[in-house]
Amino acid sequence: MRILVTGGAGFIGSHVVECLVEAGHEVRVFDVVSVDGVDAVVGDVRDADAVARALVGVDAVCHQAAKVGLGLDLGDAPDYVGCNDLGTAVLLAAMARAGVGRLVLASSMVVYGEGLGRCAEHGDVVPGARPIEALEAGRFEPPCPVCGMEVTPGRISEEAAPDPRNVYAATKLAQEHLAGAWARSTGGVATALRYHNVYGPRMPLDTPYAGVAAIFRSMLRAGLPPRVYEDGGQRRDFVHVRDVATANLAAFERSAPGLRAYNVATGVPRTVGEMAVALAAAHAGPTPITTAEYRLGDVRHITASAARLEAELGWRAEIEFADGMAQFAHV
């Protein structure tokens, strides 16, 4: 196939491009910056004329382009909605006109909000947002929304109801809805990949949008201990960017019309504190510090089951946490 990769010059997009090329696909990159050595069109996904040029002769689209980060300040909402949702709408409209019927969309775990919890009395529950007074008092675990008792974190599946809790999360869910509408209207195949905590080579550093692994690595390189928010017990699923790239490759094997969402995760939960310790050890740096600081909009636990992606498309993460972190500490 000839595949257009939007955002193909970025962190995840560049790895997706490499993976697709290695698998024998022809790739065209569409990004706001130029890319050497590949077929490329420079432009913004909100520019309908540029998108139309990029789609000429294309069989499928891998849509990675997005404004990332939490989007905690509502003043940023127009930028997030413009880049992520308007850009996706422009792309999908152009695909419909050009007769391009296959889409792989970079979505995110943030569409779920707080992860699944299990209450001893009420079974599986979805905790609500944590009140500020609890966070201020250092009570970080979200309670059962029914009885207020502490819950045991679980792994969330794709059937869970979405619960976006910040601007960025809302735009990622809107992208999925737009892709679903496009698929129903055109008979196209849309696959939404809900990335969990992606890390690895080329991860952006020292920006407001850098992931926590990149922020900790930057601290270690400066000779400083990683500063871990809350008590470090936040559970996440850290998945290597190379595994994310192979998930994109696998997604192009889908042929059934309509939208289907998949978690892209290892299925093995780790805490943010564990990740900080692993990076510090690999870097031979100072011991991480837990600060009890918090950010409104952050969720406590969000880990996933990747069973659907393995069962339906034969994908599973290959890079072990310890190996990936050891590599990441030195790239």
DSSP state of 225: -
Angle made by CA atoms 141, 143, 145, in degrees to the nearest 5 = 150
In a domain, 147, yes or no: no
15-50 b/e with 16+ CB inside 10 Å = b? bbbebbeeeebebbbbbeeebeebebbebbbbeeeb
Q: Nearest 5°: phi and psi at 289?
A: -115, 130
pLDDT digits (tens, 9 = 90+) for 7-18: 999 999 999 999
In a domain, 131, yes or no: no
**Residues of the chain whose pLDDT is less than 70?**
70-73, 206-210
pLDDT digits (tens, 9 = 90+) for 139-169: 999 999 999 998 999 999 999 999 998 899 9
In a domain, 121, yes or no: no
In a domain, 75, yes or no: yes
In a domain, 86, yes or no: yes
Q: How far apart are CA 307 and CA 237, in angstroms?
A: 14
> Which pLDDT does position 277 carry in this prediction?
97
Residue 294 sits in which domain range? 2-116+154-329
pLDDT digits (tens, 9 = 90+) for 78-107: 999 999 999 999 999 999 999 999 999 999
In a domain, 123, yes or no: no
Burial class (CB in 10 A: 0-12, 13-18, 19+), 72: middle
How many Cα atoms sit within 13 Å of 128 on the Cβ side?
A: 9
> Which pLDDT does position 150 carry in this prediction?
86
> Which pLDDT does position 129 carry in this prediction?
81
> Which pLDDT does position 71 carry in this prediction?
54
> Which pLDDT does position 70 carry in this prediction?
62
In a domain, 33, yes or no: yes
> Which pLDDT does position 209 carry in this prediction?
52
Q: How far apart are CA 45 and CA 128, in angstroms?
A: 35
Q: Nearest 5°: phi and psi at 49?
A: -65, -45
Tokens of residue 95, six digits: 């695909």
> Which pLDDT does position 181 carry in this prediction?
98
Burial class (CB in 10 A: 0-12, 13-18, 19+), 150: middle
CATH of the domain at 37: 3.40.50.720
Domain count, the chain: 1
Q: What distances in angstroms separate CA 222 from CA 215, 219, 272, 327, one per listed residue? A: 11, 5, 20, 18
In a domain, 194, yes or no: yes
- Name the pTM for this structure: 0.94
